[in-house]
Structure 1
């Protein structure tokens, strides 16, 4: 496995806002990880502490699920991200995006950092790791090359039940002719800039489409920003101390970690739901989502 992005890959990321087909895991490792995830689904399908398992898969899972925290520390991923962001790295969020076989779930055109309270920073990168065969038929991501060079654009909330995004947010007027597909083989990842326009279609394959999204940031992202937010230091040091540093879970769904999860969700809620016309259930907390 290459330890860093090649100069060509770096240039592609800088010019287009994304890079694909970066190898991370071998076939045996992917099979082992998928088995761990599906065992977790089978054994903890009801979730924990009044929250569904999907809640933890989709929001801050690294706080309460050791596997997700461990994956965010994978050296091959960190080496590639370090090439872009530098030697000091924190994880803001870890998520699993799962589209069941032959289903219509989609992700509409959007920019990641629109509602994250990070401004228009260049210092956030999403690593998206394929834990199944993510073909075009399976609904791989598509990108608009160069769209990261502009600022954050307007998004509209659709609340579409088939949209995997928290509020079904989308950018209107995208010319699909400009879109470039980024299929990934099991164990490969893509990296994309927080302002890069991207989307994914329905899974029309006969297998689940399983993707792991890890949001990496630098210590400086929170310089001058109001409020409080949390991140897990995974490489280097956080001398800026703008983030509340967390260490990762003690075990699976431990009471102390579940309590921290609720505190983080409460502190993030106002920022992540700002301007929403409807309840954003993934960030609404236990009472609203029960």
Structure 2
């Protein structure tokens, strides 16, 4: 496909609140990123870091893990996101979502913006990049078209052990499952979704890991409304509003300076993310 998005694709995103599949990485490059991730798993075993490696994968990984930062700065991804959010882009968060084969881990129906302190903004978007096949069997994401036109709705916190969300949060409305779209992606493909989108995913019943990188992009006009300060990595254009403490991408895994920054970000975000 050509970049940036066509007017029809932009209209589809505005109407439905999501867009997929978008080809952004060659399959070989996606495989290389997966190998780099799995190499870190081999290198940083139990006790080798102040927190388990899985914690860094799931929370602000782009601050301390170079390959996650590189994915978030991929030109083709930024071209697509720019088509929808404009020329000035920052990365607020970057996370790895990993479902091991044959496990019951799920993500309940929720809206992303509920717990982030960013308000109900239309200027935030998640790009979800597949590093392994995301199929119905492996527990791909599911979206309800048009649900992003709703405001943020009340959520309950279950803290269920099989829920990949930090609080096991789930939306307090009945979601009509038959209206949901299965977001099937092959390695190197991406989906985009709005921060108010109703979405979920099921267990991984396949024989392979389901691995995806979720990159949370914001425009400079978005601001943190709960915490005293918040951080983001400028990846395109400029930041005229200065609502964010900008930082540079890491040069090495878990370097001294980036680890200190990671701890500072967690401490400042604790008022929001708890």
Normalised-by-shorter TM-score class: over 0.9
Deviation of residue 102 (structure 1)?
1.1
For residue 245 of structure 2, what is the aligned residue in structure 1?
244
For residue 268 of structure 1, what is the aligned residue in structure 2?
269
What are structure 1's unaligned runs of at least 5 residues?
Answer: 274-290
- How far, CA to CA, are the matches of 2:136 and 2:197 in structure 1? 19
Pair 1:254-2:255 in alignment: yes
Residues 119-171 of structure 1, C-alpha deviations (whole Å, 9 max, x = no match)? 00000000000111111111111001101011100110011111000100001
Deviation of residue 224 (structure 1)?
7.0
Is the Cα contact below 8 Å between 2:220 and 2:239 reproduced in 1? yes
What are structure 2's unaligned runs of at least 5 residues?
Answer: none
User: SS of the counterpart of 1:267?
Assistant: helix
For residue 17 of structure 1, what is the aligned residue in structure 2?
17
- How far, CA to CA, are the matches of 1:251 and 1:179 in structure 2? 40
Question: TM-score, normalized by length of structure 1?
Answer: 0.91
Q: Supply the RMSD in Å over aligned alpha carbons.
A: 1.3
Is the Cα contact below 8 Å between 2:89 and 2:235 reproduced in 1? yes
Q: Which stretch shows the higher mean deviation, 64-73 or 38-47?
A: 38-47
Is the Cα contact below 8 Å between 1:89 and 1:219 reproduced in 2? yes
Pair 1:182-2:189 in alignment: no
For residue 150 of structure 1, what is the aligned residue in structure 2?
150
Deviation of residue 45 (structure 1)?
2.8
Deviation of residue 49 (structure 1)?
4.2
Deviation of residue 226 (structure 1)?
5.9
Deviation of residue 250 (structure 1)?
3.1
Pair 1:73-2:73 in alignment: yes
For residue 125 of structure 1, what is the aligned residue in structure 2?
125
Pair 1:201-2:202 in alignment: yes
Q: Cα distance 1:87–1:47, how it changes in 2: closer, same or farther (>3 A)?
A: farther
Question: TM-score, normalized by length of structure 2?
Answer: 0.96
Residues matched between the structures, number: 273
